[in-house]
Structure 1
Amino acid sequence: MALVWQLAWRLRSSKRQNGFISFISASSTLGIGLGCFVLIVLLSVMNGFERELKQRILSAVPHGEVWAVGAKGLQDWPVLLEQLAKDPRIAHVEPYSKATGMLQKGSTMKAITVTAVDPEYAASSRLASLIPAQQWAAFSAQQNGILLGKGARQKLAVSIGDTVQLLLPSLSDDLTFAAPKAVWLTVVGEISIGGELDNHLALIQLQKSAAILGVETGAQGLRMQFHDPFVAPSAMYNIGYSVKQHVYMSDWTRTQGHLYQDIQLVRSVVYLALTLLIAVACFNIVSTLVMAVSEKRAEVAMLMTLGARGSLITQVFMLQGLINGFVGTLIGAGAGVLVAQNLSDIARGIESVLGITLLSGDIYFIDFLPSELAPTDVVATVLIALSLSVIATVYPARTASKIDPARVL
């Protein structure tokens, strides 16, 4: 093996090597490195988005919901809540009601989705942990209090302590729309999750909503958080059919699932596109070795006359090409790991220097570029690059082993 290394290095570093071959060799190394670098960085960004989706959106959005078909509400919900609380899959369950209406402050109006929660049950929820303790305490103490999403509060130009009017649609006995119900509420705090949710989210107390919406049982339904959000579809199917009353059931994949699907789609496209980029760079190894074999025909013929076997020549040229792939992979993976670990800070620096915003919180569910480096992504990228490099060396190396010394010399 030592002889193979010596011969490969001697042929690679020969002073007689054509400058064009050296250029093609360097470009293949650079291409492989660039492909590994970009692949690791983009996969880290996708991991970051997935992490923020779980920690931000899925902390505020219930993983699953069951709510009554009738307007009277969910019957015997305290008993059902106690049963669901014992389910090992469920991390948190609470009663709720929901309504869509309009918030008005002066002449400004804003469409809003009002969710009514019981402060006692909701205090241990992930959503409550996103709200400052002082504001949550004010919400719990004031029955007419309302917590507004950041975007909705800015749209209405209201501050904490201001009073807003909530308008809710109402139906008459003949199913025609009557005058909307009007309720005055005091803004006691702000909810900041990120993205579109902040523009439409508001919380009020469950007892207040029961009187406004006419929910006789006190709650329209139950909503829950699972330890693993991805069990929600199957779990909600079982839970929904176990309720004796007619209920609707839903899970987060119906409302926010498109975000997760988009992330997975982009991840797949990135894998495919950048793997092809690495493959194209590896094709340059084929060109380099084919030209190197053509240029070193005399040296190969002399080695064969000295007793070198075809397998030795194959190994020499395969190793020569693999050096390009290894060096490119090492540089690209190292740079990718370094940048991926500091990508959020780098993005903030670019924003401050150029005065631009890469991600707008009004459009996306976060306002910064997230990154989470996964060791498995690094290992997979390195293995893909090295495997393609090995495959690229097979044909030129076998061609070199078939040189006829008698014709060359």
Structure 2
Amino acid sequence: MHLVWLLAWRFRTNKRQNGFISFISASSTFGIGLGCFVLILLLSVMNGFEKELKDRLLSVIPHAEFKSVSASGIYNWPAEITALQQHPEVTFVEPYVNATGMLQKGNKMKAIEMTAIDPVYDAQGVVPSLLTVEQWQQFKNDENATMLGIGLMKKLGLSIGDKVQILLPQLSADLSLSAPKTLRLNIIASLDMGGELSNHIGFMHMSLAAQAQNIEHGAQGIRLRYKDAFMARDLTRQIGYQLSPEVYMSDWTIKDGNLYQDIQLVRAVVYIALILVIAVACFNIVSTLVMAVNEKQSEIAMLKSMGAKNRLIIGVFMMQGTFNGLIGTLIGVVLGVLMASNLPEVARFLEGIFQVQFLSGDVYFIDFLPSELNWNEVLFTAFIAILLSILATLYPAIKAAKINPATVLGH
């Protein structure tokens, strides 16, 4: 094995080697390194988006909603909530009422999706964590209090302390639209929930919304959160079928799942595309070794005439090609890990220099470039790169072993 290493290194570092072969060899090393670097970096970005999706967006929106089929709401909803609180996968349960209408301030109007909550049940929910203690106490004490998304307030030119009107559509007995119900609300706080949510969402008291929409039982539905948000689809159906009242079942993957699916799709495309980039770089190893074998025919013939076995010749050229893969992989992995670990800071530095913003908080649910390094993916990337490099050496190495010493030395 020591002789294989020695001969492979000598062949690789031979100063008399053809310059074109050296260039192809260097390009294969560079290609493998670049593929590993970009793959690790982009996978870390995808992991970062997935982490921020879970920690930010999924910490704000409910994981599942059960909305009553009946217009009168969910009968005996406190008992249903008590039963759901005992479920081992459920971390939070609350009643709610949806109130979709038009928000009016002066001559400006904007569509809004109000979520009406009960302060008693929502005390441990998401909304209190977005407010100060004083703001939450004010909401509890004022039935006409409301909290609006910061994007919505900017579009209507609103500020905390303003009074607004919300127009709620009403259905008559024959299910036709009648004059809307008007509620006057006091803005006590603005909520920054990230992305589009802040442009059309608000919160108000459940009792007021239920009364305005003639919901007899006081709660239109029940919404909850799970320990693992990514199990929402299966758990929602499992729990929904066990509920006593008839309900419409919905989970976050229906409303906002397209973002998660996009992340998974981009991850798969990145994996395939960059593995192909590494594979193309490995083809350069084949070219390099084929030319090296043709150039080293006399040396190979001399070694075989001195008793070198085919296994030794194959090992030498496989090792020579593997050097390129190892060096390229090592450089790409090190640079990829360093860049992925510091990507948010690097992105902010570049934003400051070029005066641009890569992600806008008004459009996306975050306003910075996230990164989350996964060491399993780093090891898998390195393994794939080295494996492809080794496979690329097989044909040239076998070709070298088939050289006939008598034919070569005779010339």
**Shorter-chain TM-score category?**
over 0.9
* Aligned 8 A contact 1:50 1:260 in 2: yes
For the residue of structure 1 that corresponds to 2:179, the secondary structure is: coil
- 1:294 and 1:134, CA in 2 relative to 1: closer, same or farther beyond 3 A? farther
* Aligned 8 A contact 1:91 1:226 in 2: yes
Displacement of 1:294 after TM fit? Answer: 0.5
Displacement of 1:120 after TM fit? Answer: 2.1
State the match for 2:398 in structure 1.
Answer: 398
State the match for 2:92 in structure 1.
Answer: 92
State the match for 2:22 in structure 1.
Answer: 22
State the match for 1:199 in structure 2.
Answer: 199
Displacement of 1:204 after TM fit? Answer: 0.5
Q: Distance in 2 between matches of 1:256 and 1:305?
A: 70
Q: Distance in 2 between matches of 1:184 and 1:34?
A: 60
- 1:12 and 1:220, CA in 2 relative to 1: closer, same or farther beyond 3 A? same
State the match for 1:176 in structure 2.
Answer: 176
State the match for 2:351 in structure 1.
Answer: 351
Q: Distance in 2 between matches of 1:131 and 1:401?
A: 74
Q: In angstroms, what is the RMSD of aligned CA positions?
A: 1.1
For 2:85, the aligned partner's letter is A
Partner deviation per Cα, 1:205-228 (whole Å, 9 max, x = no partner): 112212212212111111000001
Within-5 A mapping of 1:247-286:
247-286=247-286
Q: Distance in 2 between matches of 1:45 and 1:231?
A: 23
Within-5 A mapping of 1:297-316:
297-316=297-316
For the residue of structure 2 that corresponds to 1:180, the secondary structure is: strand
For 1:74, the aligned partner's letter is I
Displacement of 1:177 after TM fit? Answer: 1.6
State the match for 1:226 in structure 2.
Answer: 226
* Aligned 8 A contact 1:139 1:189 in 2: no
Comparing 137-146 with 157-166, greater Cα deviation is found at 137-146
For 1:320, the aligned partner's letter is Q
Q: Distance in 2 between matches of 1:150 and 1:245?
A: 36
Residue 376 (1) aligns with residue 376 (2)? yes
Structure 1 segments of 4+ aligned residues over 6 angstroms from their partners: none
Q: Distance in 2 between matches of 1:137 and 1:261?
A: 39
For 2:325, the aligned partner's letter is G
State the match for 1:165 in structure 2.
Answer: 165
Tell me the TM-score normalised to structure 1 length.
0.98
Partner deviation per Cα, 1:215-249 (whole Å, 9 max, x = no partner): 12111111000001122222221222222222111
For the residue of structure 2 that corresponds to 1:169, the secondary structure is: strand
Displacement of 1:303 after TM fit? Answer: 0.8
Displacement of 1:150 after TM fit? Answer: 1.4
Q: Distance in 2 between matches of 1:128 and 1:402?
A: 76
Comparing 33-42 with 132-141, greater Cα deviation is found at 132-141
For 2:107, the aligned partner's letter is S
State the match for 1:145 in structure 2.
Answer: 145
Comparing 130-139 with 67-76, greater Cα deviation is found at 130-139
Displacement of 1:134 after TM fit? Answer: 3.6
Displacement of 1:167 after TM fit? Answer: 0.8
Q: Distance in 2 between matches of 1:119 and 1:388?
A: 60
Q: Distance in 1 between matches of 2:210 and 2:139?
A: 17
Q: Distance in 2 between matches of 1:337 and 1:126?
A: 35
Q: Distance in 2 between matches of 1:406 and 1:133?
A: 92
Q: Distance in 2 between matches of 1:150 and 1:324?
A: 54
Q: Distance in 2 between matches of 1:382 and 1:394?
A: 19
For the residue of structure 2 that corresponds to 1:109, the secondary structure is: strand
Displacement of 1:139 after TM fit? Answer: 2.0
Note the residue ranges of structure 1 that are not aligned, 5 or more in a row. none
For 1:232, the aligned partner's letter is A
State the match for 1:83 in structure 2.
Answer: 83
Q: Distance in 2 between matches of 1:230 and 1:148?
A: 28
- 1:81 and 1:6, CA in 2 relative to 1: closer, same or farther beyond 3 A? same
For the residue of structure 2 that corresponds to 1:178, the secondary structure is: strand
Within-5 A mapping of 1:309-328:
309-328=309-328
Q: Distance in 2 between matches of 1:283 and 1:108?
A: 64
Partner deviation per Cα, 1:59-98 (whole Å, 9 max, x = no partner): 1111111111112110011001000000001010011110
Displacement of 1:127 after TM fit? Answer: 4.3
Displacement of 1:329 after TM fit? Answer: 0.4
* Aligned 8 A contact 1:169 1:179 in 2: yes
* Aligned 8 A contact 1:59 1:127 in 2: no
For the residue of structure 2 that corresponds to 1:357, the secondary structure is: coil
Partner deviation per Cα, 1:254-279 (whole Å, 9 max, x = no partner): 11111111110000000000000000
* Aligned 8 A contact 1:25 1:324 in 2: yes
Displacement of 1:398 after TM fit? Answer: 0.6
Comparing 305-314 with 136-145, greater Cα deviation is found at 136-145
